[in-house]
Amino acid sequence: MDFSFTIQDKKLRSPLLLGHYLPWFTREKPDDFPCGEKDLKGLILPRMEAWRHWRDSRSQYKRTHLYQPLWGEYDSRDPQIIRKQIETAKKYGLDGFIVNLYGKNSVENIIGLSFLKELEKYNFEHRDDPFLYMISFDSQAQWPTEGKTPVSIEEDFEYLRDKWFGKYCISRNGAPCMAIFVYDRKASEYRRAADTVFGKDGLDIIWPSCDGSEGADAAYAWVRPDSFERDGSWFDTDNPGDKWLESYYLACNKNRNLRYIMGGVWPGFNDLLVSWAWNPNPSNPAIRPRVMCRESTRGNSLELTFMAAENYLRRHKNGDPSCAKPMPFIQIVTWNDWAEATNVEPDADFGFKSLEICAKFAKRLKEI
């Protein structure tokens, strides 16, 4: 089976280390950094909020974020910030970002287009060593949340095909690779939409589960502890989830439908300051703030989760049949989700420590 991951027909050296990137943030003047008319054509957009995802309605308290960004509370559309993010990620061993999007008619899409433009400028200047990207498509795109006008999966996919899947988007055998952040849909729905828009096998779907993933090409791991309560509560804060990762990777190998695995690493988790951790909903009436400490009694959470991926890659290289599926990507969960404290982007509390760990393991994993 051919696992040639490319950009512009140039083969990429795996595993690729990719930060999950959230184009969410604005400052006090939401009308700063306006989009061009060409980008806005055909879109129905909700109002852009001031201080979006810093101190808005998503916050339980006066702000959404536990840690303070080292670069201050920024606007994700600011070209200087985007350039600093790309250059810093490259310096510490990251190959690219996985950009979190919520469909064509979302604020995230418009903010994300600013990132895409700056990425293209950066890569024009660094053609021999470009910064790569992949899309993480959130299933909330089909929810009418935050004032957006949802469209069908097919229409959103057509938009991504025409606007987002450019020459620096990672592909397998010419098919763009895309993760799906799912809540309430099946992989088969996305496969039908992908085959309609891209043709059969024209889009690689990376799904967040190794089970029940008919229609997915690969699976990815997302932050979670080794175990939690039925209502979703995490009572053991001293639990980085690395043991679950080891079992997850082995379980992926038992699913014959999956071609490969995207590994996952994370520095911790803390959603105590955001409203969704405290507000019950009909499908999950429990109040469930979740905390995973950065420094567990067994070691640093980011290092432990990296070691789980490293162990899998070594077993794969040595021909272990239980680790037969390749792991061409490792996703850092996340680059900048400040609301849930999973950021490796530099902050005032830890500085560049998380990125220094990323750089150390980027070198080790490439050597495997």
pLDDT value for 212: 61
Task: Tell me the β-bridge partners of 60.
Answer: none
Cα(64)–Cα(273) distance, rounded to whole angstroms? 5
Domains of the chain from N-terminus onward:
12-367 (3.20.20.80)
238 DSSP 8-state letter: S
Asked whether residue 2 carries a pLDDT value surpassing 60, the answer given is no
Q: CB 158: neighbour CB atoms within 10 A? A: 17
Helices of type H across 4-125: 37-40, 79-91, 107-125
Two tokens, residue 319? 């021909």
Cα(95)–Cα(110) distance, rounded to whole angstroms? 23
Q: What is the pLDDT of residues 57-79, one digit of tens each?
A: 888 788 899 999 999 999 999 99
Q: What is the pLDDT of residues 318-361, one digit of tens each?
A: 999 999 999 999 999 999 999 999 999 999 999 999 999 999 99
Buried (b) or exposed (e) across 71-98, using 16+ Cβ within 10 A? bebbbbbbeebbeebbebbbebbbbbbb
184 — pLDDT class (breaks 50, 70, 90): confident
Pairing of strands 5-7, 171-172: antiparallel
Q: CB 274: neighbour CB atoms within 10 A? A: 23
Cα(275)–Cα(278) distance, rounded to whole angstroms? 5
Two tokens, residue 279? 């507000």
Mean pLDDT of 193-212: 93
pLDDT value for 195: 97
Q: CB 246: neighbour CB atoms within 10 A? A: 16
Helices of type H across the chain: 37-40, 79-91, 107-125, 153-163, 187-198, 242-252, 301-317, 353-367
pLDDT value for 87: 98
pLDDT value for 232: 72
By CB neighbour count within 10 A (0-12 exposed, 13-18 middle, 19+ buried), where does 230 fall? exposed
8 — pLDDT class (breaks 50, 70, 90): low
More confident residue, 6 or 96: 96
Reference 312, options 297, 301, 328; nearest CA is: 328
Cα(330)–Cα(328) distance, rounded to whole angstroms? 7
Q: What is the pLDDT of residues 97-106, one digit of tens each?
A: 999 999 999 9
Contact yes or no for 327/335 (Cβ under 8 A) = no
Q: What is the pLDDT of residues 230-287, one digit of tens each?
A: 777 788 899 999 999 999 999 999 999 999 999 999 999 999 998 888 876 656 666 6
pLDDT value for 278: 81
Asked whether residue 313 carries a pLDDT value surpassing 90, the answer given is yes
Reference 355, options 265, 291, 290; nearest CA is: 265
What's the distance, CA 86 to chain centroid?
15
pLDDT value for 3: 54
Task: Please compute, for residue 235, the number of CA atoms within 13 A of its CA located in the half-sphere on the CB side.
Answer: 5
Asked whether residue 1 carries a pLDDT value surpassing 50, the answer given is no
Contact yes or no for 241/292 (Cβ under 8 A) = yes
Q: What is the pLDDT of residues 115-169, one digit of tens each?
A: 999 999 999 999 999 999 999 999 999 999 888 999 999 999 999 999 999 989 9
- The CA distances from residue 244 to 26, 216, 328, 360, 368, in Å, are 35, 21, 20, 23, 22
pLDDT value for 105: 97
| Average pLDDT of every residue of the chain | 92
221 — pLDDT class (breaks 50, 70, 90): very high
- Region for 8 from its dihedrals, namely left if φ exceeds 0, alpha if ψ lies in -120 to 50, beta otherwise: left
